[in-house]
């Protein structure tokens, strides 16, 4: 998702939130709000997962201690050559 699309998504969620607090939402708007919320959560989780998979953890002695699961994900993405 592009940054512009993410901003539009968040803005629309906020619009619906404020309308819900002031005048209430129609059934169609409530459905839209729920779908937008689910899309936002899905995008957040995907982004967070990608960030975690790209982490390289190094202990205080300079030795890499990245988990094997993360290393395998990095290899699949072509980020590791070992």
Q: Has this prediction a pTM greater than 0.85?
A: no
The answer to whether position 30 is within a domain reads yes
What's residue 79's pLDDT? 87
Q: Is 62 left (phi over 0), alpha (psi -120 to 50) or beta?
A: left
The answer to whether position 82 is within a domain reads no
| Residue 16 belongs to domain spanning | 3-76
The answer to whether position 35 is within a domain reads yes
What's residue 81's pLDDT? 83
What's residue 11's pLDDT? 97
Tens digits of residue pLDDT in 17-61: 999 999 999 999 999 999 999 999 999 999 999 898 889 999 999
The DSSP string of 32-79 is HHHHHHHHHHHHHHHHHHHHHHT---B-TTS-B---HHHHHHHHHTT-
Tens digits of residue pLDDT in 24-34: 999 999 999 99
């Amino acid at each position: 998702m592009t940054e512009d699309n993410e901003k539009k998504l968040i803005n629309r969620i906020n619009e619906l939130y404020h309308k819900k607090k002031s005048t209430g939402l129609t059934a169609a708007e409530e459905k839209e709000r729920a779908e937008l919320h689910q899309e936002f959560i899905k995008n957040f989780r995907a982004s967070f997962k990608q960030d975690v998979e790209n982490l390289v953890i190094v202990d205080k002695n300079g030795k890499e201690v990245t988990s094997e699961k993360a290393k395998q994900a990095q290899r699949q993405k072509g980020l590791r050559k070992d």
